[in-house]
Amino acid sequence: MPEVLSIRNVLDLSATISSEIESKDRIILEIPSSAEADLSFVQLVESARRQAKLQGKTLTLSSPVGERILKVLERAGFVEAFTAEDAKFWLHKEVTA
């Protein structure tokens, strides 16, 4: 993934991720820890997670998101609504109730 993940390149990112989902059973997204992102990228990844799951495939991140993407998730209200599965996906954290 590039360093900037935003509305400006979301169509290219979408095409790349969709192609990976179509051609592989296990997709691992490598997001640079210093990457800048906006809400469109977060929405794209959430959509891709659902699409992969519907097709019986697995989409994961190679490492937890960096501080910049975490702030986007927080501002958009994602973090406070995280399920255990979401926390594991985005933050690589195991959450027990």
Longest dimension (CA), the chain: 39
* Triad 86, 88, 93: Cα angle to 5°: 130
User: Quick one: which of 70, 66, 58 has its CA closest to 28?
Assistant: 58
Q: How many domains does the chain have?
A: 1
Say if 12 falls within a structural domain: yes
Task: Look at residue 49 in the predicted model and tell me its pLDDT.
Answer: 97
Say if 94 falls within a structural domain: no
Between residues 84 and 95, the one the model is more confident about? 84
User: What is the domain-level CATH number for residue 24?
Assistant: 3.30.750.24
The string of pLDDT tens digits covering residues 46-75 is 999 999 999 999 999 999 999 999 999 999
Q: What is the pTM of this model?
A: 0.91
Domain encompassing residue 54: 4-89
Say if 95 falls within a structural domain: no
